[in-house]
Structure 1
Amino acid sequence: MRDSLRSKAVTICNDKIAKKGETVGLSFYAFFANKNDDPDLLMEAATWWIKTHELDHFEKALKVRDLILSGA
């Protein structure tokens, strides 16, 4: 995952955790606006989420953030 997406995803996870608590879930779509203006970046996130880590559609934001921060 490219650094810019990694940084954005961590920020979004942190924001969700701060607002809704450590049990809040999200999908990789949370990292994007409600429009497909960068399909390559969306596919990069989807590949990381689905193929690389075999995550469910919704996962705990805390788990996702920790995976990203670990460099996985």
Structure 2
Amino acid sequence: MDRAFKQKMIAICNNKIEKKGANVGLSFYAFFENKNENPELLMEVAEWWIKTNKLDHFEKALKIKKMIED
């Protein structure tokens, strides 16, 4: 994933945490609009989420944010 998209993911995590608290969970779909305008990027993030990191469908936003920042 490119740096700009990682920054977008962090911003979305921060927004969710701010609005719903530290225990908020999200899926990789949270980083995309309802309209699939970039299927290649969606598949790249899905592979990172599911295949590379073996994450559950919903994970804590804090966990995802930390993974991206590291």
TM range (shorter): over 0.9
Count of residue pairs brought into register by the alignment: 70
Q: Which residue number in structure 2 is paired with residue 24 of structure 1?
A: 24
Q: How does 1:10-21 map to 2 (within 5 A)?
A: 10-21=10-21
Provide the TM-score with structure 1 as the length reference.
0.94
Q: Structure 1 residue 15: deviation in Å?
A: 0.3
Q: Which residue number in structure 2 is paired with residue 58 of structure 1?
A: 58
Q: Which deviations, in whole Å up to 9, do the C-alpha atoms of 1:9-64 show, x marking residues without a partner? A: 00000000000000000000000000111001101110110111100000000000
Q: Percent of aligned positions with the same letter in both sequences?
A: 61
For structure 2, the 5+ residue unaligned runs are none
Q: Distance in 1 between matches of 2:59 and 2:12?
A: 13
Q: Which residue number in structure 2 is paired with residue 45 of structure 1?
A: 45
Provide the TM-score with structure 2 as the length reference.
0.96
For structure 1, the 5+ residue unaligned runs are none
Q: CA RMSD in A?
A: 0.6
Runs of 4+ with >6 A deviation: none
Q: Distance in 2 between matches of 1:14 and 1:44?
A: 22
> Which amino acid letter does the alignment assign opposite residue 57 of structure 2?
H
